Structure 1
Amino acid sequence: MGKIVISTNSSLDGVVQDPTGDEGFRLGGWFTRAEPRDLQAWTELATAETRDTAALLLGRRSDEWFAERWTARSGAWADSMNGLPKYVVSSTLHQPRWTNATVLRGDAVTEVTRLRDELDGDIVVFASYQLGQTLLEHDLVDELRLVVFPVVLGAGRRLFAETSRAKPMRLVGTRALGDNLNLVTYRPDRHGNA
Protein backbone atom coordinates (compact mmCIF):
# COMPACT_ATOMS: atom_id res chain seq x y z
CA MET A 1 0.00 0.00 0.00
CA GLY A 2 1.25 3.45 -0.89
CA LYS A 3 1.57 6.50 1.29
CA ILE A 4 0.16 9.85 0.10
CA VAL A 5 2.64 12.62 0.95
CA ILE A 6 2.02 16.32 0.39
CA SER A 7 5.40 17.96 0.01
CA THR A 8 5.41 21.72 -0.44
CA ASN A 9 7.05 25.03 0.31
CA SER A 10 5.22 27.49 2.54
CA SER A 11 5.63 30.96 3.94
CA LEU A 12 5.52 31.34 7.72
CA ASP A 13 1.85 32.22 7.47
CA GLY A 14 1.00 29.21 5.31
CA VAL A 15 0.94 30.77 1.83
CA VAL A 16 1.91 28.35 -0.94
CA GLN A 17 0.90 30.49 -3.93
CA ASP A 18 3.42 31.42 -6.61
CA PRO A 19 6.69 30.67 -4.82
CA THR A 20 8.78 31.30 -7.94
CA GLY A 21 6.91 34.38 -9.17
CA ASP A 22 5.83 32.76 -12.46
CA GLU A 23 2.09 33.14 -11.85
CA GLY A 24 1.88 36.92 -11.58
CA PHE A 25 0.77 36.98 -7.93
CA ARG A 26 1.78 40.38 -6.51
CA LEU A 27 3.60 38.71 -3.60
CA GLY A 28 5.05 35.85 -5.66
CA GLY A 29 8.73 34.97 -5.92
CA TRP A 30 9.29 34.46 -2.19
CA PHE A 31 11.08 31.14 -2.78
CA THR A 32 13.64 32.65 -5.14
CA ARG A 33 14.57 35.37 -2.61
CA ALA A 34 15.93 32.81 -0.15
CA GLU A 35 19.64 32.81 0.66
CA PRO A 36 21.87 30.72 -1.67
CA ARG A 37 22.94 28.43 1.18
CA ASP A 38 19.28 27.80 2.03
CA LEU A 39 18.39 27.04 -1.58
CA GLN A 40 21.33 24.65 -1.84
CA ALA A 41 20.10 22.75 1.23
CA TRP A 42 16.57 22.76 -0.23
CA THR A 43 17.87 21.34 -3.54
CA GLU A 44 19.69 18.54 -1.73
CA LEU A 45 16.52 17.69 0.20
CA ALA A 46 14.34 17.76 -2.93
CA THR A 47 16.80 15.58 -4.86
CA ALA A 48 16.86 12.98 -2.07
CA GLU A 49 13.07 13.09 -1.75
CA THR A 50 12.69 12.41 -5.47
CA ARG A 51 14.96 9.36 -5.24
CA ASP A 52 12.73 7.97 -2.47
CA THR A 53 9.47 8.62 -4.33
CA ALA A 54 7.48 5.83 -6.02
CA ALA A 55 5.20 8.17 -8.04
CA LEU A 56 4.01 11.75 -8.32
CA LEU A 57 0.37 12.74 -7.94
CA LEU A 58 -0.57 16.03 -9.59
CA GLY A 59 -3.44 18.20 -10.67
CA ARG A 60 -3.78 19.34 -14.29
CA ARG A 61 -2.17 22.77 -13.83
CA SER A 62 0.78 21.29 -11.95
CA ASP A 63 1.30 18.76 -14.76
CA GLU A 64 1.50 21.68 -17.20
CA TRP A 65 3.78 23.75 -14.96
CA PHE A 66 6.25 20.93 -14.30
CA ALA A 67 6.26 19.73 -17.93
CA GLU A 68 7.20 23.22 -19.10
CA ARG A 69 10.14 23.42 -16.71
CA TRP A 70 11.41 19.85 -16.34
CA THR A 71 11.02 17.97 -19.63
CA ALA A 72 14.10 19.55 -21.25
CA ARG A 73 16.30 19.40 -18.13
CA SER A 74 19.00 16.83 -17.59
CA GLY A 75 21.11 15.65 -14.69
CA ALA A 76 20.45 13.26 -11.82
CA TRP A 77 17.57 15.21 -10.25
CA ALA A 78 15.87 15.96 -13.58
CA ASP A 79 16.31 12.39 -14.78
CA SER A 80 14.71 11.15 -11.59
CA MET A 81 11.81 13.64 -11.78
CA ASN A 82 11.16 13.00 -15.47
CA GLY A 83 11.42 9.23 -15.06
CA LEU A 84 8.97 8.89 -12.18
CA PRO A 85 5.49 7.56 -12.91
CA LYS A 86 3.04 10.44 -12.70
CA TYR A 87 -0.69 10.39 -12.09
CA VAL A 88 -2.65 13.49 -13.03
CA VAL A 89 -6.09 13.94 -11.49
CA SER A 90 -8.30 15.76 -13.98
CA SER A 91 -11.78 15.58 -15.42
CA THR A 92 -10.82 17.74 -18.44
CA LEU A 93 -7.30 16.65 -19.42
CA HIS A 94 -7.00 14.14 -22.25
CA GLN A 95 -3.25 14.12 -22.82
CA PRO A 96 -0.85 14.90 -19.94
CA ARG A 97 2.05 17.18 -20.79
CA TRP A 98 4.78 15.71 -18.59
CA THR A 99 6.60 12.47 -19.32
CA ASN A 100 5.49 9.07 -18.06
CA ALA A 101 2.07 10.36 -16.96
CA THR A 102 -1.37 8.77 -16.69
CA VAL A 103 -4.60 10.73 -16.31
CA LEU A 104 -6.88 9.67 -13.47
CA ARG A 105 -10.42 10.49 -14.57
CA GLY A 106 -13.52 10.26 -12.47
CA ASP A 107 -13.96 11.01 -8.80
CA ALA A 108 -10.63 12.17 -7.34
CA VAL A 109 -11.21 10.50 -3.97
CA THR A 110 -12.06 7.14 -5.55
CA GLU A 111 -9.15 7.30 -8.00
CA VAL A 112 -6.56 8.30 -5.40
CA THR A 113 -7.81 5.65 -2.95
CA ARG A 114 -7.43 3.03 -5.68
CA LEU A 115 -3.95 4.32 -6.57
CA ARG A 116 -2.84 4.23 -2.94
CA ASP A 117 -4.07 0.63 -2.67
CA GLU A 118 -2.25 -0.43 -5.86
CA LEU A 119 1.16 1.23 -5.40
CA ASP A 120 3.84 0.72 -2.80
CA GLY A 121 5.97 3.58 -1.49
CA ASP A 122 5.59 7.34 -1.31
CA ILE A 123 3.12 8.92 -3.73
CA VAL A 124 4.16 12.57 -3.53
CA VAL A 125 1.92 15.54 -4.27
CA PHE A 126 3.86 18.60 -5.45
CA ALA A 127 2.23 22.03 -5.91
CA SER A 128 -1.29 20.71 -6.48
CA TYR A 129 -3.06 22.70 -3.80
CA GLN A 130 -6.67 22.13 -4.82
CA LEU A 131 -5.98 18.40 -5.03
CA GLY A 132 -4.14 18.57 -1.69
CA GLN A 133 -7.13 20.23 -0.04
CA THR A 134 -9.42 17.50 -1.36
CA LEU A 135 -7.09 14.78 -0.10
CA LEU A 136 -6.85 16.42 3.33
CA GLU A 137 -10.62 16.78 3.56
CA HIS A 138 -11.12 13.08 2.81
CA ASP A 139 -8.36 11.85 5.14
CA LEU A 140 -6.22 10.50 2.30
CA VAL A 141 -3.02 12.28 3.33
CA ASP A 142 -0.58 10.10 5.24
CA GLU A 143 2.14 12.71 5.68
CA LEU A 144 2.72 16.46 5.29
CA ARG A 145 6.24 17.72 4.54
CA LEU A 146 6.40 21.48 4.72
CA VAL A 147 9.52 23.50 4.00
CA VAL A 148 8.85 26.76 5.80
CA PHE A 149 10.41 29.93 4.38
CA PRO A 150 11.09 32.92 6.66
CA VAL A 151 8.61 35.34 5.17
CA VAL A 152 5.12 36.49 6.16
CA LEU A 153 3.07 37.40 3.09
CA GLY A 154 -0.25 38.28 4.68
CA ALA A 155 -2.22 37.25 1.60
CA GLY A 156 -2.34 34.46 -0.95
CA ARG A 157 -3.57 30.95 -1.38
CA ARG A 158 -2.87 28.58 1.45
CA LEU A 159 -2.61 24.80 1.42
CA PHE A 160 -5.03 24.54 4.30
CA ALA A 161 -8.55 25.55 3.39
CA GLU A 162 -11.79 25.21 5.28
CA THR A 163 -12.49 21.62 6.32
CA SER A 164 -15.64 19.93 7.54
CA ARG A 165 -13.97 19.10 10.85
CA ALA A 166 -10.68 19.42 12.70
CA LYS A 167 -7.75 17.39 11.30
CA PRO A 168 -5.43 16.60 14.24
CA MET A 169 -1.79 16.14 13.26
CA ARG A 170 1.24 14.82 15.08
CA LEU A 171 4.70 16.36 14.58
CA VAL A 172 7.07 13.55 13.59
CA GLY A 173 10.12 15.50 12.52
CA THR A 174 11.88 18.83 12.21
CA ARG A 175 15.07 19.64 10.38
CA ALA A 176 16.90 22.88 9.72
CA LEU A 177 17.80 23.52 6.08
CA GLY A 178 20.61 25.96 5.55
CA ASP A 179 20.44 28.94 7.89
CA ASN A 180 16.80 30.01 7.57
CA LEU A 181 14.56 27.18 6.33
CA ASN A 182 12.87 24.42 8.30
CA LEU A 183 11.42 21.13 7.17
CA VAL A 184 8.53 20.13 9.41
CA THR A 185 6.86 16.76 8.98
CA TYR A 186 3.43 15.86 10.30
CA ARG A 187 1.28 12.77 10.14
CA PRO A 188 -2.44 12.62 10.81
CA ASP A 189 -3.32 11.67 14.34
CA ARG A 190 -6.11 9.26 13.47
CA HIS A 191 -7.01 8.98 17.16
CA GLY A 192 -7.36 12.75 17.60
CA ASN A 193 -4.75 13.00 20.36
CA ALA A 194 -2.62 15.79 18.92
Structure 2
Amino acid sequence: MTNNESIKRKLITTTILTLDGVLQSPGTDKEDTTGNFSWGGWSVNYWDEVMANFMQNIMENPYDLLLGRRTYDIFASHWPHVKNDPVADSLNRARKYVVSQKDLKLEWQNSVTVTGDVVAEIKKLLEQDGPDLWVHGSGNLIQTLLANNLLHTMHIWTYPVLVGTGKRLFAEGTRAEGLKLVDCKIATTGVIIASYERAGDLKVGSFALENLPAEKRV
Protein backbone atom coordinates (compact mmCIF):
# COMPACT_ATOMS: atom_id res chain seq x y z
CA MET A 1 0.00 0.00 0.00
CA THR A 2 1.37 3.38 -0.90
CA ASN A 3 2.15 5.85 1.90
CA ASN A 4 1.85 8.91 -0.32
CA GLU A 5 -0.14 11.50 1.63
CA SER A 6 -1.64 12.85 -1.61
CA ILE A 7 -3.55 9.60 -2.21
CA LYS A 8 -7.28 10.27 -1.85
CA ARG A 9 -8.75 6.90 -2.84
CA LYS A 10 -7.85 3.23 -2.58
CA LEU A 11 -6.96 0.65 -5.19
CA ILE A 12 -8.74 -2.63 -4.43
CA THR A 13 -8.60 -5.89 -6.36
CA THR A 14 -11.02 -8.80 -6.49
CA THR A 15 -9.58 -11.88 -8.15
CA ILE A 16 -10.97 -15.36 -8.82
CA LEU A 17 -8.33 -18.12 -8.60
CA THR A 18 -8.07 -21.87 -8.76
CA LEU A 19 -6.35 -23.55 -5.82
CA ASP A 20 -3.19 -23.77 -7.94
CA GLY A 21 -3.28 -20.04 -8.61
CA VAL A 22 -4.76 -19.78 -12.12
CA LEU A 23 -7.02 -16.83 -12.96
CA GLN A 24 -7.45 -17.55 -16.67
CA SER A 25 -10.94 -17.79 -18.19
CA PRO A 26 -13.06 -18.49 -15.08
CA GLY A 27 -16.44 -17.64 -16.60
CA THR A 28 -16.69 -19.31 -20.02
CA ASP A 29 -14.65 -21.47 -22.38
CA LYS A 30 -14.30 -18.49 -24.74
CA GLU A 31 -12.92 -15.83 -22.39
CA ASP A 32 -9.22 -16.54 -22.89
CA THR A 33 -7.91 -19.60 -24.71
CA THR A 34 -4.29 -18.40 -24.77
CA GLY A 35 -1.88 -21.34 -24.63
CA ASN A 36 -4.68 -23.72 -25.70
CA PHE A 37 -6.25 -23.37 -22.26
CA SER A 38 -9.10 -25.88 -22.21
CA TRP A 39 -10.63 -25.40 -18.74
CA GLY A 40 -12.54 -22.16 -19.34
CA GLY A 41 -15.61 -21.84 -17.13
CA TRP A 42 -14.03 -23.59 -14.13
CA SER A 43 -15.73 -21.22 -11.62
CA VAL A 44 -19.31 -21.57 -12.83
CA ASN A 45 -20.58 -24.41 -10.58
CA TYR A 46 -19.52 -22.94 -7.23
CA TRP A 47 -21.63 -19.78 -6.80
CA ASP A 48 -23.71 -19.57 -3.61
CA GLU A 49 -25.49 -17.07 -1.37
CA VAL A 50 -22.37 -16.29 0.68
CA MET A 51 -20.54 -15.21 -2.46
CA ALA A 52 -23.54 -13.30 -3.79
CA ASN A 53 -23.90 -11.38 -0.53
CA PHE A 54 -20.20 -10.53 -0.43
CA MET A 55 -20.28 -9.22 -3.99
CA GLN A 56 -23.45 -7.25 -3.35
CA ASN A 57 -21.97 -5.65 -0.24
CA ILE A 58 -18.81 -4.48 -1.95
CA MET A 59 -20.68 -3.15 -4.97
CA GLU A 60 -23.26 -1.15 -3.01
CA ASN A 61 -20.80 1.70 -2.51
CA PRO A 62 -19.73 3.97 -5.39
CA TYR A 63 -16.59 2.88 -7.23
CA ASP A 64 -14.65 3.36 -10.45
CA LEU A 65 -13.09 0.46 -12.36
CA LEU A 66 -9.47 0.09 -13.44
CA LEU A 67 -9.16 -2.77 -15.92
CA GLY A 68 -6.62 -4.39 -18.20
CA ARG A 69 -7.53 -4.47 -21.87
CA ARG A 70 -8.50 -8.17 -22.03
CA THR A 71 -10.68 -8.02 -18.92
CA TYR A 72 -12.34 -4.87 -20.24
CA ASP A 73 -13.16 -6.60 -23.53
CA ILE A 74 -14.66 -9.58 -21.68
CA PHE A 75 -16.78 -7.32 -19.45
CA ALA A 76 -17.81 -5.03 -22.32
CA SER A 77 -19.05 -7.97 -24.38
CA HIS A 78 -21.37 -9.07 -21.58
CA TRP A 79 -22.51 -6.54 -18.99
CA PRO A 80 -23.97 -3.82 -21.25
CA HIS A 81 -26.39 -6.44 -22.59
CA VAL A 82 -27.64 -7.69 -19.20
CA LYS A 83 -30.96 -6.16 -18.18
CA ASN A 84 -32.72 -5.84 -14.81
CA ASP A 85 -29.67 -6.94 -12.83
CA PRO A 86 -28.19 -4.83 -9.99
CA VAL A 87 -24.61 -5.99 -10.69
CA ALA A 88 -24.93 -5.07 -14.36
CA ASP A 89 -26.49 -1.72 -13.47
CA SER A 90 -23.62 -0.97 -11.09
CA LEU A 91 -20.89 -1.92 -13.58
CA ASN A 92 -22.54 -0.05 -16.43
CA ARG A 93 -22.89 3.07 -14.30
CA ALA A 94 -19.28 3.04 -13.04
CA ARG A 95 -16.51 5.02 -14.73
CA LYS A 96 -14.10 2.60 -16.36
CA TYR A 97 -10.38 3.29 -16.85
CA VAL A 98 -8.81 0.88 -19.33
CA VAL A 99 -5.04 0.34 -19.34
CA SER A 100 -3.71 -0.03 -22.88
CA GLN A 101 -0.50 0.48 -24.83
CA LYS A 102 -2.40 2.70 -27.27
CA ASP A 103 -5.47 4.90 -27.25
CA LEU A 104 -8.66 2.99 -27.96
CA LYS A 105 -12.15 3.69 -29.18
CA LEU A 106 -14.24 2.29 -26.31
CA GLU A 107 -17.93 1.55 -26.85
CA TRP A 108 -18.97 0.73 -23.27
CA GLN A 109 -20.43 3.81 -21.61
CA ASN A 110 -18.23 5.84 -19.25
CA SER A 111 -14.98 4.26 -20.51
CA VAL A 112 -11.66 6.05 -21.03
CA THR A 113 -8.18 4.83 -21.94
CA VAL A 114 -5.15 5.02 -19.64
CA THR A 115 -2.01 4.94 -21.78
CA GLY A 116 1.54 6.30 -21.94
CA ASP A 117 3.29 6.20 -18.55
CA VAL A 118 0.62 3.99 -17.00
CA VAL A 119 2.02 4.03 -13.46
CA ALA A 120 2.20 7.83 -13.45
CA GLU A 121 -1.33 8.08 -14.84
CA ILE A 122 -2.70 5.69 -12.20
CA LYS A 123 -1.01 7.71 -9.47
CA LYS A 124 -2.77 10.80 -10.83
CA LEU A 125 -6.10 8.98 -10.63
CA LEU A 126 -5.42 8.06 -7.00
CA GLU A 127 -4.68 11.69 -6.19
CA GLN A 128 -8.02 12.87 -7.56
CA ASP A 129 -11.23 13.12 -5.61
CA GLY A 130 -13.53 10.22 -6.38
CA PRO A 131 -14.61 6.74 -5.26
CA ASP A 132 -12.19 3.86 -4.75
CA LEU A 133 -10.78 2.16 -7.84
CA TRP A 134 -11.62 -1.53 -8.23
CA VAL A 135 -9.64 -3.99 -10.33
CA HIS A 136 -11.31 -7.21 -11.50
CA GLY A 137 -9.26 -9.91 -13.21
CA SER A 138 -6.44 -8.09 -15.03
CA GLY A 139 -3.53 -10.21 -13.82
CA ASN A 140 -0.80 -8.32 -15.67
CA LEU A 141 -2.14 -5.02 -14.37
CA ILE A 142 -2.17 -6.34 -10.80
CA GLN A 143 1.49 -7.32 -11.14
CA THR A 144 2.27 -3.74 -12.20
CA LEU A 145 0.32 -2.34 -9.25
CA LEU A 146 2.10 -4.66 -6.81
CA ALA A 147 5.52 -3.82 -8.20
CA ASN A 148 4.82 -0.11 -7.74
CA ASN A 149 3.31 -0.37 -4.26
CA LEU A 150 -0.09 0.96 -5.33
CA LEU A 151 -2.54 -1.62 -3.98
CA HIS A 152 -4.44 -1.23 -0.71
CA THR A 153 -6.64 -4.34 -0.41
CA MET A 154 -6.81 -7.64 -2.29
CA HIS A 155 -9.93 -9.83 -2.21
CA ILE A 156 -8.84 -13.27 -3.39
CA TRP A 157 -11.52 -15.88 -4.12
CA THR A 158 -9.88 -19.33 -4.08
CA TYR A 159 -11.93 -22.13 -5.64
CA PRO A 160 -11.44 -25.83 -4.76
CA VAL A 161 -10.31 -26.53 -8.32
CA LEU A 162 -7.00 -27.62 -9.86
CA VAL A 163 -6.36 -27.04 -13.56
CA GLY A 164 -2.61 -27.59 -13.74
CA THR A 165 -1.92 -24.99 -16.41
CA GLY A 166 -2.85 -21.44 -17.36
CA LYS A 167 -2.08 -17.85 -16.44
CA ARG A 168 -1.29 -17.37 -12.76
CA LEU A 169 -1.83 -14.25 -10.70
CA PHE A 170 1.36 -14.60 -8.67
CA ALA A 171 3.69 -15.68 -11.44
CA GLU A 172 7.47 -15.70 -11.64
CA GLY A 173 8.75 -12.22 -10.82
CA THR A 174 6.18 -11.39 -8.13
CA ARG A 175 7.78 -9.21 -5.46
CA ALA A 176 8.30 -10.89 -2.09
CA GLU A 177 6.30 -9.18 0.68
CA GLY A 178 4.05 -9.89 3.65
CA LEU A 179 0.25 -9.71 3.68
CA LYS A 180 -2.21 -9.22 6.55
CA LEU A 181 -5.48 -11.18 6.54
CA VAL A 182 -8.27 -8.72 7.44
CA ASP A 183 -11.36 -10.79 6.61
CA CYS A 184 -12.24 -14.32 5.52
CA LYS A 185 -15.47 -15.98 4.45
CA ILE A 186 -16.10 -19.55 3.33
CA ALA A 187 -18.85 -20.38 0.85
CA THR A 188 -20.96 -23.52 1.18
CA THR A 189 -19.29 -24.72 -2.03
CA GLY A 190 -15.79 -24.50 -0.54
CA VAL A 191 -14.74 -21.19 -2.07
CA ILE A 192 -12.60 -19.14 0.34
CA ILE A 193 -12.89 -15.36 0.08
CA ALA A 194 -9.84 -13.93 1.83
CA SER A 195 -9.22 -10.19 2.09
CA TYR A 196 -5.64 -9.01 2.53
CA GLU A 197 -3.89 -5.74 3.15
CA ARG A 198 -0.22 -5.37 2.47
CA ALA A 199 2.10 -5.71 5.47
CA GLY A 200 5.49 -4.58 4.21
CA ASP A 201 8.63 -6.54 3.53
CA LEU A 202 8.59 -10.33 3.95
CA LYS A 203 10.22 -11.33 7.23
CA VAL A 204 12.08 -14.63 7.22
CA GLY A 205 13.53 -16.82 9.95
CA SER A 206 14.64 -20.38 10.59
CA PHE A 207 13.45 -23.44 12.53
CA ALA A 208 16.97 -24.90 12.47
CA LEU A 209 17.92 -26.29 15.90
CA GLU A 210 20.77 -23.87 16.42
CA ASN A 211 18.29 -20.98 16.15
CA LEU A 212 15.80 -22.35 18.72
CA PRO A 213 15.94 -21.47 22.44
CA ALA A 214 17.47 -24.28 24.48
CA GLU A 215 14.16 -25.08 26.21
CA LYS A 216 12.53 -25.88 22.86
CA ARG A 217 15.17 -28.29 21.64
CA VAL A 218 14.53 -32.03 21.90
Q: Identity of paired residues, percent?
A: 31
**Which residue is 2:60 aligned to?**
51
Deviations 1:111-133 (A, max 9, x none): 11111111444211011111111
User: What residue number does 1:183 align with?
Assistant: 193
- Aligned pairs for 1:13-162 within 5 A: 13-20=20-27, 21-22=29-30, 23-24=32-33, 25-34=37-46, 38-74=47-83, 75-162=85-172
Pairwise CA RMSD: 1.9
**Would the aligned equivalents of 1:63 and 1:97 in 2 still touch at CA under 8 Å?**
no
How far apart are the structure 2 equivalents of 1:193 and 1:52? 35
Who is 2:182 aligned against? 172
Amino acid at match of 1:26: S
**Which structure has the highest strand share of the two?**
1
**TM-score, with length taken from structure 2:** 0.80
Kindly tell me: are residues 177 and 120 of structure 1, through their superposed partners in 2, closer, same or farther at Cα, counting changes over 3 Å? farther
TM-score under structure 1 normalisation? Answer: 0.89
The separation in 1 between residues aligned to 2:161 and 2:174, in whole angstroms, is 29
- Post-superposition offset of 1:84: 0.6
Amino acid across the alignment from 1:7: T
Aligned partner of 2:40: which letter?
Answer: G
Tell me if the contact between 2:146 and 2:175 (Cα under 8 Å) persists in the aligned partners: no
Q: Which runs of 5+ in 2 are unaligned?
A: 1-7, 205-218
Letter in 1 for 2:193: L
Q: Contact conserved, 1:87 with 1:104, CA < 8 A, in 2?
A: yes
Cα deviations across residues 134-178 of structure 1 (Å, max 9, x unaligned)?
Answer: 111111111110111111222111111233641221111111123
